[in-house]
């Protein structure tokens, strides 16, 4: 069996919508967090590196002071200078100005700041561009005792700062992103768990048979679903009312036809008994036959209406074996007329079944009637009743049912194309199936050991009485 394509495949699912509504705000939060973390990280990196830069500037001041005290020239190529100024990652620049503003050593592009640098011994920071790169500069003034009036500047590129910023940023953002990614399956799981009642409701509705119009229990549905369930139950109730009305109409119509039909049959019997008019006899015979067929159809219609009616919910305990024997017995005479060997194979002990014996008898009658009807003269029909599970079956030596017909024979008014020679309404098996459904039973059809058809009525679930 192939499933029909789902027309709602492209429709958005609630899970996706909820996931989207949760994840988009979370992504926005992550972006906000990334921005603030970046701001904090670069501020932190700047403060940290500025401290280092200030220390280098102070050291450079001491170095220059020592050189001047020793009346030496400041030599930028000396080892001490190199140790202070060289760096593996960053490019460093420096400048030393004497109190007259003359550059004693260093890079002239680090222009003198003059009054920009106060006397409070603390460095003044700023950024500027050198060799096309952004650099951070620290400038200090010499103190009264140490190089008074001098100005010492050290600048460095931003490599270490940028790295530190990136490092801090990564340290915060990577775990956050990981938490977000890991939360997706958890959120997914949470949502699908949360939507379980919806799924349970869907399953409860889809597993229903088309005939089951009883209200859907709303008690264990969550409050959000209650209005849906209530609306659905309301619809079911209205639908049931319409269906009941139709059923009643069919039953009433069939019932109403019964009386004139009985009159017609009686009148025809009288007419046939009157032999004074022999030329009309063939017509009467045909009329009688047609009337009999009509009567059969009306009986079947009534039986179907009865089997579908809700009144048939009455359930009693009865013996399936006993009932099968009785029904078979009712057909012995008819089978004899057709020279068909009708037999019953029953169980010794009773087979208790809970249900409506009138309906089950009707179903059995239809199965036996069919077997006798479609089995040619001299054939065999065997009915049987077995226990655990209770099964009533009818096997015949007739032509059987062609595979192409199998899916159709239970439909109302369906008759095999070549069965037009036999009388019938095509309602027999529809009645059997309706009765089976009412009893939670299944009707199956297959090939019998006798060579013809094998029909089985198997009772399951509630109908199987353990008492």
Ligand X SMILES: Nc1ncnc2c1ncn2[C@@H]1O[C@H](COP(=O)(O)OP(=O)(O)O)[C@@H](O)[C@H]1O
Residue ranges in contact with Mg ion by CB under 5 A: 370, 424, 428
Least CB distance to ligand X at residue 241 (A): 29
Q: Which is nearer to ligand X, 45 or 450 (CB)?
A: 450
Q: Does 419 bind ligand X (CB under 6 A)?
A: yes
State the binding partner of 374 from ligand X, Mg ion, none, CB within 5 to 8 A by kind.
Answer: ligand X
Interface mask toward ligand X for 192-231; x: CB under 6 A: ----------------------------------------
429 contributes a contact to ligand X by CB under 6 A = yes
Of 139 and 367, CB closest to Mg ion: 367
Strands 341-345 and 380-386, bridge-based pairing: parallel
Shortest approach of ligand X to residue 453 CB, angstroms? 4
Applying CB under 6 A, does 379 fall inside the site for ligand X? no
Chosen residue from 254, 371, 391, 436 binding ligand X by CB under 6 A = 371
Least distance in angstroms from the C-beta of 426 to Mg ion: 7
DSSP annotation of 464 reads B
Please, which residue, 244 or 345, has the CB nearer to ligand X?
A: 345
Asked if 301 touches ligand X (CB under 6 A), the answer is: no
Q: How far is the CB of 348 from Mg ion (least distance, A)?
A: 31
Instruction: Judge contact between 452 and 400, C-beta under 8 A.
Output: yes
Give CA separation, 228 vs 77, 238, 314, 383, in Å: 87, 15, 31, 49
With CB under 6 A as the contact rule, which of the stretches 110-118, 160-168, 344-352, 393-401 interacts with ligand X?
393-401
Tokens 């280098």: give the residue.
Answer: 56
**CB 456 → Mg ion: shortest distance, Å?**
16
* Among positions 386, 415, 438, 439, the unique one binding ligand X when judged by CB under 6 A: 415
Given 424, 436, 457, 463, the residue binding ligand X (CB under 6 A): 424
| CB-based contacts of 222, cutoff 8 Å, min separation 6 | 197
User: Between helices 357-374 and 428-438, what is the axis angle to 10°?
Assistant: 150
Q: Which of 157, 321, 425, 433 binds ligand X (CB under 6 A)?
A: 425
Q: Kindly report the backbone phi and psi dihedral angles of residue 262, in degrees, each rounded to the nearest multiple of 5, phi listed first.
A: -65, -40
- Of 30-38, 119-127, 322-330, 425-433, the window that binds ligand X (rule: CB under 6 A) is 425-433
Among 374, 384, 439, 450, the residue binding ligand X under the rule CB under 6 A is 374
Q: Please, are residues 437 and 460 in contact by the beta-carbon 8 Å criterion?
A: no
425 binds, among Mg ion, ligand X, none (CB under 5 to 8 A by kind): ligand X
Q: Which of 396, 438, 443, 459 binds ligand X (CB under 6 A)?
A: 396
Given the rule CB under 6 A, which residues bind ligand X? 366, 370-371, 374, 396, 398-399, 401, 409, 414-416, 419, 424-430, 452-453
């Amino acid at each position: 069996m192939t499933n029909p394509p789902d027309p709602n495949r492209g429709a958005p699912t609630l899970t996706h919508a909820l996931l989207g509504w949760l994840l988009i705000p979370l992504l926005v939060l992550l972006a906000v967090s990334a921005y603030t973390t970046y701001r904090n990280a670069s501020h932190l990196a700047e403060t940290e590196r500025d401290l280092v830069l200030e220390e280098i500037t102070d050291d450079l001041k001491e170095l220059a002071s020592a050189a001047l005290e020793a009346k030496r020239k400041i030599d930028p190529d000396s080892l001490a200078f190199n140790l202070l100024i060289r760096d593996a990652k960053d490019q460093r620049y420096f400048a030393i100005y004497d109190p007259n503003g003359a550059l004693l050593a260093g890079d002239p592009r680090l222009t003198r700041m003059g009054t920009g640098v106060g006397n409070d011994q603390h460095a003044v920071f700023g950024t500027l561009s050198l060799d096309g790169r952004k650099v951070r500069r620290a400038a200090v003034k010499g103190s009264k005792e140490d190089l008074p009036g001098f100005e010492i500047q050290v600048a460095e590129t931003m490599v270490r700062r940028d790295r530190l910023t990136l490092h801090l940023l990564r340290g915060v953002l990577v775990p956050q992103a990981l938490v977000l990614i890991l939360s997706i399956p958890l959120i997914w799981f949470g949502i699908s768990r949360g939507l379980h009642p919806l799924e349970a409701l869907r399953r409860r509705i889809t597993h229903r048979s088309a005939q089951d119009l009883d209200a859907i229990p709303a008690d264990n549905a969550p409050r959000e679903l209650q209005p849906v369930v209530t609306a659905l139950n309301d619809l079911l109730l209205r639908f049931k009312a319409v269906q009941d009305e139709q059923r009643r109409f069919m039953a009433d119509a069939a019932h109403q036809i019964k009386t004139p039909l009985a009159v017609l049959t009686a009148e025809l019997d009288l007419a046939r008994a009157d032999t004074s008019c022999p030329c009309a006899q063939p017509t009467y015979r045909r009329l009688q036959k047609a009337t009999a067929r009509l009567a059969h159809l009306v009986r079947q219609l009534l039986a179907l209406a009865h089997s579908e009616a809700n009144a048939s919910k009455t359930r009693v305990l009865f013996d399936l074996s006993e009932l099968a024997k009785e029904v078979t017995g009712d057909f012995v005479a008819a089978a004899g007329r057709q020279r068909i060997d009708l037999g019953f194979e029953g169980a010794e002990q009773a087979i208790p079944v809970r249900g409506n014996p009138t309906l089950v008898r009707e179903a059995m009658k239809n199965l036996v009637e069919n077997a006798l009807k479609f089995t040619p003269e001299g054939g065999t029909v065997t009915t049987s009743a077995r226990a655990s599970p209770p099964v009533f079956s009818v096997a015949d030596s007739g032509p059987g049912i062609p595979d192409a017909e199998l899916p159709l024979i239970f439909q109302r008014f369906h008759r095999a194309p070549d069965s037009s020679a036999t009388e019938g309404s095509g309602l027999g098996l529809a009645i059997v199936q309706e009765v089976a459904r009412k009893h939670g039973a299944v009707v199956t059809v297959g090939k019998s050991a006798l060579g013809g058809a094998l029909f089985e009525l198997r009772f399951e679930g509630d109908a199987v009485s353990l008492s």
